[in-house]
């Protein structure tokens, strides 16, 4: 199955990924992790809900933490180009027979809630509250000094289907892994905002959220976080890294929040704004696509992920490969 042609003029204009809402089981523990350890800035909080932003962001939030009884991911949020794009989006999803509704979300203006073909809850907005810039208030920087949310990575039961769906709404594939035997997609990285990805999909039990990534300036920020986490009681929350992915060329670290939601800290991908940028193809049998330098990932990294609230998880249509693990 060849990679579908990218759609030049999508039915509505998505600018970028924007935010994720997590259900967490101990809000104070999550605040300690995201605000005190990672260093994200709290922009609003109640006894039940905390919103945070990263250092260069002017939108009100990139992470929403909602106290709940069981950990899950409620929804993935995206920003569109203008108010009218929301109406175009509604028409589009309605036309596909996918559920749509206008929902109230504090601080983010008119918001369309919908879902993709595999049931991943998505929400779109244009007018999130804008906050004053703080990126030059250097006394506020701490932890890993995350600059902005970068991407979501999902387990998908059918990556070919996922790529076709997101391709049609304007996401372009930058890199992908193909199963040489079946010629089916194993994994794909797709962008709107001009980096390697806003979203990515990997074959696996899904739909589940594998990780949410934040962009930092350089590898030393990541080393600083490792030093702090390993000496302040978060040693077991360090899951994988530091290392470099072959795919995306990212220097990475994966950590787990107190509920197991996986966060990637990430730097050094590349600019992808050219509409004729050729996707880079990787062979599923090439271990360097996963890890350029050769260190294995732990089994948990291949197997665990956050469920989407209320969404059943299914087996993938493409049979799982042996994990390249220790």
Question: Which CB, 28 or 235, lies closer to a copy of itself?
Answer: 235
Q: How far apart are CA 260 and CA 188, in angstroms?
A: 24
Strands (E), 116-207: 121-125, 148-156, 172-179, 184-191, 199-203
Contact stretch for a copy of itself (CB under 8 A) within 45-53, 155-163, 272-280, 309-317: 272-280
Question: What does the radius of gyration of the chain's CA atoms come to, in whole angstroms?
Answer: 19
Q: How far apart are CA 98 and CA 301, in angstroms?
A: 31
Question: Is 7 near a copy of itself (CB under 8 A)?
Answer: no
Q: Whole-number minimum distance, CB 90 to a copy of itself, in Å?
A: 19
What residues are paired with 183 via a beta bridge? none
Q: Whole-number minimum distance, CB 314 to a copy of itself, in Å?
A: 31
Q: Whole-number minimum distance, CB 77 to a copy of itself, in Å?
A: 13
Pairing state of beta strands 306-307 and 208-215?
antiparallel
Question: Is 148 near a copy of itself (CB under 8 A)?
Answer: yes
Non-local (6+) Cβ contacts of 198 within 8 A are 16, 17, 78, 151, 152, 171, 190, 191, 192
Span 30-89, contacts to a copy of itself by CB under 8 A: 56, 58-59, 79, 81-82
Question: Is 300 near a copy of itself (CB under 8 A)?
Answer: no
Question: Is 326 near a copy of itself (CB under 8 A)?
Answer: yes
Span 149-178, contacts to a copy of itself by CB under 8 A: none
- Stretch 202-241: interaction string toward a copy of itself, x if CB under 8 A: ---------------xxxx--xx-xxxxxxx--xx-x---
Q: How far apart are CA 248 and CA 288, in angstroms?
A: 11
Dihedral angle sign, alpha carbons of residues 200, 206, 211, 213? positive
187 alpha-carbon distance from chain centroid:
14
Which parts of this chain interact with a copy of itself (CB under 8 A)? Answer: 8, 15-16, 56, 58-59, 79, 81-82, 126-127, 130, 133, 135-139, 141, 147-148, 193-194, 217-220, 223-224, 226-232, 235-236, 238, 242, 244, 246, 249, 251, 267-268, 270-271, 273-278, 280, 288, 292-296, 326
């Amino acid at each position: 199955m060849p990679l579908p042609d990218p759609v030049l003029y999508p039915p509505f204009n998505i600018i970028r990924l924007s935010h994720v809402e997590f259900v967490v089981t101990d809000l104070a523990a999550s605040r300690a992790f995201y605000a005190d350890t990672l260093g994200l800035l709290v922009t609003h909080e109640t006894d039940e809900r905390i919103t945070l932003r990263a250092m260069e962001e002017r939108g009100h939030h990139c992470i929403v933490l909602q106290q709940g009884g069981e950990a899950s991911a409620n929804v993935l949020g995206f920003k569109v180009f203008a108010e009218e794009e929301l109406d175009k989006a509604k028409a589009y999803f309605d036309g596909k027979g996918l559920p749509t509704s206008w929902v109230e979300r504090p601080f983010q203006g008119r918001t369309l809630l919908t879902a993709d073909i595999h049931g991943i809850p998505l929400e779109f907005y244009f007018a999130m509250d804008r906050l004053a810039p703080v990126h030059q208030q250097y006394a506020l920087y701490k932890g890993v000094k995350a600059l902005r949310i970068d991407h979501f990575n999902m387990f998908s039961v059918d990556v070919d289907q996922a790529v076709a769906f997101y391709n049609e709404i304007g996401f372009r594939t930058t890199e992908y892994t193909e199963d040489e035997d079946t010629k089916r997609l194993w994994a794909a990285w797709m962008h709107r905002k001009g980096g390697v990805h806003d979203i990515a999909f990997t074959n696996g039990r899904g739909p589940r959220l594998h990780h949410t990534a934040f962009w930092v300036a350089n590898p030393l920020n990541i080393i600083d976080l490792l030093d702090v986490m390993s000496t302040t009681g978060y040693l077991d929350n360090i899951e994988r890294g530091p290392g470099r992915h072959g795919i995306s060329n990212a220097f990475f670290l994966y950590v787990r929040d107190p509920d197991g939601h996986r966060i990637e800290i990430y730097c050094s991908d590349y600019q992808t704004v050219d509409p004729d940028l050729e996707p880079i193809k990787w062979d599923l049998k090439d271990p360097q696509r996963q890890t350029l330098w050769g260190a294995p990932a732990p089994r948990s990294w291949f197997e665990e992920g956050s469920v989407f609230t209320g969404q059943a998880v299914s087996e993938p249509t493409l049979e799982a490969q042996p994990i390249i693990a220790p």
